[in-house]
Chains A and B, each alone.
Chain A
Amino acid sequence: MTHPYSLAGTRILVTGASSGLGRATAVLASRMGAQLIIIGRDAARLEQTLAQLEGDGHRAERRDLRDTAGIPEWLARLASDIGPLNGLAHAAGIQIVRPLRSLDESVLNETMAVNLNTALALTKGFRQKSVCAQGGSIVLFSSVMGLTGQPGQAAYSASKGALIGMCRSLALELAREKIRINCVAPGLVNSGMGERLRETLPAAQFEAAAAMHPLGQGTAEDVAGAVVFLLSGASAWITGTTLAVDGGYTAH
């Protein structure tokens, strides 16, 4: 009997795979048997991720996803090269911390472009019959900031909250195509963006945010476990939902 959490025989595309949550997701998915296509902007770090993957047949592609118009065609070409995809984990994103007094429209637009528009374009590309032939699962990386707020996070919160709303509507559209789409909403983890926040936020504010996690700060692997669950057959009856993976942050 196939293990319900197994990804054996599946082909999964992971964005933002050069570090943090995207890297951890790719690594765990490979351990669960998936063939990975990992996407990132930094070629050297992408190669580091590639070296950590288990199994054979993985592929790394350097790509700036901000060119959203080209995404559907790129995915069609990719699927034509290697075969149809079964899953997509979209971890790529940016977090620009700005208090309202310093928040101008360009920051908001850039945040929405990278965090939201890319998700829509990737989903649009994934659902093409030539890309996703037999249904599949999409996981979008939202954040606890999409469910709650913190000072200085207005742009990031707006983009991550928008992902959650978009996910619900897309779930209804895509169900007939046997494509599931869900979000994870990670809390503060000790790698990638979480580490950059630790370096840039005033210490008191970072410590206050960290203290909001009853189970303590998480790891990228904690989040990857939830993503792999949503990519796997174990979550076959779950779509349009947002799974908080936050050590209890949103239980407050």
Chain B
Amino acid sequence: MKKSDFLLQLDNIIEAPPGSLKGTEKLTDISAWDSLAVLGFIAMVDEKFKVQLAGKDIAACETVADIAGLLGDRITP
């Protein structure tokens, strides 16, 4: 998945207008990034990438870029 599409998926999860996230944001600065958003993110990754992420790995992320990094080369520039 292209990074731009991945960011649109995250926009959708936090219910922000499409194009809101640029990829450099700190997660603590995104007020809508709460436990339900994390659950939604886990569900999206499971559905779109067939990957089951561990909650502790997501908790270790500090930025949107870190979140994308969990999916490695499944996210393309």
Contacts and interface: CB of A to CB of B under 8 A. Distances in A.
Contacts of B55: 198-203, 205-206
A199 B52 CA distance: 9
B40 A200 contact: no
Contact of B39 (A99, A198, A199, A203): A99
B66 to A, nearest CB: 15
- Taking residues whose C-beta sits less than 8 angstroms from the other chain, chain A's interface range is 10 to 19
23 contacts: A96-B43, A97-B39, A97-B42, A97-B43, A98-B39, A99-B36, A99-B39, A99-B40, A99-B43, A101-B13, A102-B40, A102-B43, A198-B55, A199-B55, A200-B52, A200-B53, A201-B55, A202-B39, A202-B59, A204-B59, A205-B39, A205-B55, A206-B55
A205 to B, nearest CB: 5
B35 interface: yes
B35 A101 contact: no
A214 to B, nearest CB: 23
A229 B56 CA distance: 38
Interface of A: 96-99, 101-102, 151-152, 198-206
A203 B40 contact: no
A104 to B, nearest CB: 10
Contacts of A99: 36-37, 39-40, 43
Contact of B35 (A98, A199, A200, A205): A205
Contacts of A200: 42, 52-55
B58 interface: yes
B64 to A, nearest CB: 17
B38 interface: yes
B67 interface: no
Interface string B47-67: 000001111101100000000
A114 B19 CA distance: 38
